[in-house]
């Protein structure tokens, strides 16, 4: 049997050009072809993040390393941090901040909800915060945060604004420079559409200045922007340099993925993810599946988080897999066994939507045709 369709919130299915780049034998890290790819990928990431004045860092590791790089470089022991808490990955950010010596104030709401802007502002007003962190899409809950409004609050209170864009960059609208976001991090395997294994960070000018103004050295050697900056600058200028061996195969795949994002165009890609989400929502509503985000405007466009219906449990995920589609179980500790998640980012198109909706319908014992038809109607607008 052929490999099942991978519809989890990362890693995701690859476009053929990205898969082909990833399937080549590895290039050396000094190979001129690799240097050219690395240079193109770094420059292209500035476009993807909408950060013409940003400094990209691409390092072997998963998204959690990207989170740790952001924290390790911006936080010094005793700094205050405000975390907008929208789920499991916001909690992870709080843990990382604490591990690096920050005093963390988590501002959250119930499962599937977000704190109000006034609640976040109150936390920022209660004392100067070094950073405000926002999880753009919390992949555990499918909750989408209003980054633009939150970033404006952070800037108004003098905090550096850090966005975990691991499940949003290249799919949800994000204008790093225009919205005053100081650092955005992501990973290769989510909406960027490359294989897993690269931590990607874009640091804006205020974040880089904060690094230069530190009183203490960055505690992590591998995560230190200072070690990586000359390497990234060299590669972007089409010169090779060595600090720690880059994941050359993944850099080649990233180059192909970034080229594809730019060829599609960011506004077109954001709009396409909006249509995919509308199609999925139409199908879920036809199947009477209730979303975990409490209001439609809180729902991400990169994945669906859905409660199991009455009388159905986590075995549903296995039954969907038996239909040839891989979806993910729950992740948030409060509700892990009560919901499942379907990723729909990157190369997802009409055939993938049809297969996924049909598989979920069949696994639920419901007729697939009405749900598929509802999805396709919504997709075509
Ligand atoms: C996937 C994800 C992470 C963790 O990334 P890893 O690559 O698994 O380390 C963190 N935050 C968000 C929002 C994510 O979606």
- Concatenate the DSSP letters of all residues of 312-380 into one string: --THHHHHHHHTTEE-EE--STTTGGGEEEEE--TT--HHHHHHHHHHHHHHHTS-HHHHHHHHHHHHH
The rounded distance, in Å, linking the Cα atoms of 361 and 341 is 15
Please tell me the predicted confidence (pLDDT) of residue 25.
Answer: 96
Q: What is the pLDDT of residues 21-43, one digit of tens each?
A: 999 999 999 999 999 999 999 99
How close is the Cα of 91 to the center of ligand 1, in Å?
Answer: 12
Q: What is the pLDDT of residues 320-357, one digit of tens each?
A: 999 999 999 999 999 999 999 999 999 999 999 999 99
Q: What is the pLDDT of residues 42-70, one digit of tens each?
A: 999 999 999 999 999 999 999 999 999 99
| Phi, psi at 47, each rounded to 5° | -70, -40
236 lines ligand 1 (CB under 6 A): no
How close is the Cα of 45 to the center of ligand 1, in Å?
Answer: 18
How close is the Cα of 377 to the center of ligand 1, in Å?
Answer: 32
Tell which residue, 306, 300, 303, 301, has the closest CA to residue 145. 300
Please tell me the predicted confidence (pLDDT) of residue 2.
Answer: 79
70 lines ligand 1 (CB under 6 A): no
166 lines ligand 1 (CB under 6 A): yes
The rounded distance, in Å, linking the Cα atoms of 228 and 59 is 8
Please tell me the predicted confidence (pLDDT) of residue 192.
Answer: 98
Please tell me the predicted confidence (pLDDT) of residue 144.
Answer: 98
Q: How confident is the model at residue 381 (pLDDT cuts 50, 70, 90)?
A: confident
135 lines ligand 1 (CB under 6 A): yes
Q: What is the DSSP letter of 301?
A: S
44 lines ligand 1 (CB under 6 A): no
How close is the Cα of 141 to the center of ligand 1, in Å?
Answer: 12
140 lines ligand 1 (CB under 6 A): no
Residues with Cβ within 8 Å of residue 122, at least 6 apart in sequence: none
Strands 303-307 and 339-343: antiparallel
Tokens of 3: 């490999």
Tokens of 286: 């036809």
Please tell me the predicted confidence (pLDDT) of residue 161.
Answer: 98
Whether residue 1 is predicted with pLDDT greater than 70 in this model: the reply is no
Strands 80-85 and 131-135: parallel
Please tell me the predicted confidence (pLDDT) of residue 39.
Answer: 98
The rounded distance, in Å, linking the Cα atoms of 2 and 15 is 17
Contact 289, 307 (CB under 8 A): yes
Q: What is the DSSP letter of 297?
A: G
Contact 18, 257 (CB under 8 A): yes
Partner residues linked to 133 by β-bridges: 83, 162
Residue nearest ligand 1's atom 6 by CA: 63
Q: What is the pLDDT of residues 292-324, one digit of tens each?
A: 999 999 999 999 999 999 999 999 999 999 999
Contact 339, 330 (CB under 8 A): yes
Neighbours of 198 (CB within 10 A): 27
Mean pLDDT, all residues of the chain: 97
62 lines ligand 1 (CB under 6 A): yes
Q: What is the pLDDT of residues 237-293, one digit of tens each?
A: 999 999 999 999 999 999 999 999 999 999 999 999 999 999 999 999 999 999 999
Q: How confident is the model at residue 109 (pLDDT cuts 50, 70, 90)?
A: very high
The tally of CA atoms less than 13 A away on the side-chain side of residue 18 is: 24
How close is the Cα of 142 to the center of ligand 1, in Å?
Answer: 13
Q: What is the pLDDT of residues 209-239, one digit of tens each?
A: 999 999 999 999 999 999 999 999 999 999 9
Please tell me the predicted confidence (pLDDT) of residue 122.
Answer: 98
How close is the Cα of 168 to the center of ligand 1, in Å?
Answer: 10
Q: What is the pLDDT of residues 359-373, one digit of tens each?
A: 999 999 999 999 999
88 lines ligand 1 (CB under 6 A): no
The rounded distance, in Å, linking the Cα atoms of 117 and 130 is 18
187 lines ligand 1 (CB under 6 A): yes
Among 62, 63, 345, say which to mutate for ligand 1: greatest number of ligand atoms within 8 Å of CB: 63
The rounded distance, in Å, linking the Cα atoms of 106 and 138 is 15
- Closest ligand 1 atom, residue 67 Cα: 10
């Amino acid at each position: 049997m052929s490999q099942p369709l991978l519809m989890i919130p990362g890693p995701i299915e690859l476009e053929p050009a990205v898969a082909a780049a990833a399937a080549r034998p590895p290039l050396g890290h000094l190979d001129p072809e690799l240097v050219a790819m690395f240079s193109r990928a770094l420059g292209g990431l500035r476009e993807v993040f909408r950060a013409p004045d940003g400094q990209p860092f691409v390092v072997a590791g998963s998204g959690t390393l990207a989170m740790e790089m952001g924290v390790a470089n911006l936080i010094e022991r005793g700094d205050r941090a405000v975390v907008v808490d929208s789920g499991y990955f916001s909690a992870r950010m709080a843990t990382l901040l604490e591990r690096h010596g920050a005093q963390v104030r988590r501002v959250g709401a119930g499962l599937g909800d977000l704190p109000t802007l006034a609640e976040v502002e109150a936390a920022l007003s209660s004392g100067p915060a070094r950073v405000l962190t926002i999880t753009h899409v919390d992949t555990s809950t499918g909750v989408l945060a209003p980054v633009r409004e939150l970033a404006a609050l952070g800037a108004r209170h003098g905090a550096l604004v850090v966005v975990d864009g691991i499940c949003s960059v290249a799919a949800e609208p994000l204008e790093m420079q225009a919205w005053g976001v100081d650092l955005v991090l992501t990973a290769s395997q989510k909406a960027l559409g490359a294989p897993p294994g690269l931590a990607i960070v874009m640091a804006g000018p205020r974040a880089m200045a904060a690094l230069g103004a530190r009183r203490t050295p960055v505690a992590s050697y591998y995560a230190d922007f200072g070690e990586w900056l000359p390497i990234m600058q060299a590669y972007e200028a089409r010169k090779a340099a060595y600090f720690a061996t880059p994941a050359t195969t993944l850099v080649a795949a990233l180059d192909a993925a970034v080229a594809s994002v730019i060829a599609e165009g960011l506004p077109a890609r954001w709009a396409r993810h909006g249509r995919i989400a509308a199609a999925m929502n139409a199908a879920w509503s036809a199947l009477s599946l209730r979303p975990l985000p409490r209001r439609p405007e809180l729902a991400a466009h990169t994945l669906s988080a859905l409660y199991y219906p009455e009388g159905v449990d986590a075995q549903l995920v296995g039954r969907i897999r038996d239909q040839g589609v891989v979806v993910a179980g729950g992740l948030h500790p409060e509700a892990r066994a009560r919901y499942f998640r379907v990723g729909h980012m990157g190369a997802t198109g009409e055939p993938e939507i049809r297969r996924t909706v049909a598989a979920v319908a069949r696994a639920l014992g419901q007729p697939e045709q009405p749900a598929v038809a509802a999805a396709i109607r919504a997709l075509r607008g």
